[in-house]
Structure 1
């Protein structure tokens, strides 16, 4: 018998009086290339590996746990995570746990699809935890503890590897110089990882903002862009999608023809399936951005089902 599709709610259905909209619900990482050097926090800084998964946060109350996306849509396919998230919440006397939904070796678009599945459970996804807040701290009703203090509370939980099968604490390290951070990033890239997240240990939680208190460092630059239209291919791609036309900075457009599979090219050129990508937010990686604002060697990474707005 086929599984029944569940009906999901949003964070705002459970918390209708919440003071922020979905675009300002959580704190986001600032790309290193957008840093204002005059606002760089003082060393030592904390850093961790940037996992290529899906941002999630869980709200745990007395009787239930709900897991949401960065914009507040509820994930219904991660029931196996809830008992452990509940236990961590009660151990810390906190309410909101922020984590990456991640499965080692699985592409981010696949994990994203698993998280959004409303029919099936996906036990492959683990909760890789990097922050925990009280609901008042998340809500903005009180002064937030510094990140270092919040992480130390998570770290104080004993025997993570023995007590939890699906929840993992993301290791944090300290760096005294940018050279230390560069060495750590190069090590991650060498073993095939995506990059680092660098944090100011003294920073409070900054929902809805991208600033120098939480920076992501990736080998390539990466933007989340809105797809405006499709271009037909030529040669062997005649009658298929040749490229995505994406909205970029200052009204410019970026044409991206690399990174698409043959199956995607065929499917999206169809009048029945083009809207699976047109109008959606996609991740576009590139080697560099020129001084004229041109992306060098842009390539399609995947649809960001967890986002509704592009970077520009």
Structure 2
């Protein structure tokens, strides 16, 4: 009897593993952006807002995340979607990253959960034309499908960097994350591409070190992060940007440091905070 129970347990375990594995497919082969370079000629690019959503890859049959995880979308959401791949962003609106991220991770959802979500197209991976031609094809697709959930991200053109950075200030000031620049003559290529560029602002700010957290893994025995407090009373950890020497001999408690960040989370905590330097005494 013990052997029978053991055998049944093994079968059930294998079946459960197969179910878990079926939820994750191979990672989609997507194009990745590079960072903005100052010598870029903006007249060669089409520019759109960088949306703070979750990247989605429509295979022609189902929606995948960047990691290959299937998204539990109701059939009515994707009704009319084409049977070829679309690269885009599942988006709820500016400042709603936490909400859309949580929704995408849920294993079971209802249509009402997705009623305000848009799939914002920004590329067609299997289209053989230039980005300019792909943009036109996406506009035509959005009109053809005529879905409240399928849209194409608007692309703009600029004559100089002054106009580009003016648009960046406008987008960020309105709660956006930044801009994406697509070289208008480029073809879709898998992997990191120099022809698609992200432009996000980085801000400097100061905070006081109020503690140290212990490092793990290769940082065992050293400092893993600095616990800091801003003048506004926000407390958070900064682990990125510290050199090995600084992890061994970190800024003392009470020291004022300068850090960089990219916008704020919904809780008001600096996003992607990175240690920059100890503030010099004036």
TM-score under structure 1 normalisation? 0.58
Shift, 1:219, TM fit: 2.4
Q: How does 1:91-240 map to 2 (within 5 A)?
A: 95-121=84-110, 122-123=113-114, 124-134=116-126, 144-157=128-141, 159=143, 163-211=146-194, 213-220=195-202
Shift, 1:80, TM fit: 4.0
Q: Quote the residue 1:25 is aligned against.
A: 29
Shift, 1:104, TM fit: 1.8
Per-residue deviation, residues 29-58 of structure 1 (Å, max 9, x unmatched):
2232xx374xx3673310011111111111
Q: Is the 8 A contact 1:56 1:98 kept in 2?
A: yes
Detail structure 1 runs of 4+ shifted over 6 Å in the superposition: 230-234, 252-256, 258-262
Task: Please state whether the residue corresponding to 2:138 is helix, strand or coil.
Answer: helix
Q: Quote the residue 1:3 is aligned against.
A: none
Q: Quote the residue 1:273 is aligned against.
A: none
Per-residue deviation, residues 175-230 of structure 1 (Å, max 9, x unmatched):
2322221222122123222221111011122322142x1111222269xxxx9657
Q: 1: distance between equivalents of 2:70 and 2:278?
A: 36
Aligned pairs, number: 222
Q: 2: distance between equivalents of 1:125 and 1:196?
A: 21
Q: Is the 8 A contact 1:188 1:195 kept in 2?
A: yes
Give yes or no for the alignment of 1:9 onto 2:2: no
Q: Quote the residue 2:221 is aligned against.
A: none
Task: Please state whether the residue corresponding to 1:111 is helix, strand or coil.
Answer: helix
Ranges in structure 2 where 5+ consecutive residues have no aligned partner? 1-18, 205-214, 217-223, 251-256
Q: Is the 8 A contact 1:25 1:72 kept in 2?
A: no
Larger radius of gyration: 2
Q: 2: distance between equivalents of 1:76 and 1:152?
A: 29
Q: 2: distance between equivalents of 1:30 and 1:283?
A: 20
Shift, 1:96, TM fit: 0.8
Per-residue deviation, residues 91-117 of structure 1 (Å, max 9, x unmatched):
xxxx11011110124521221111111
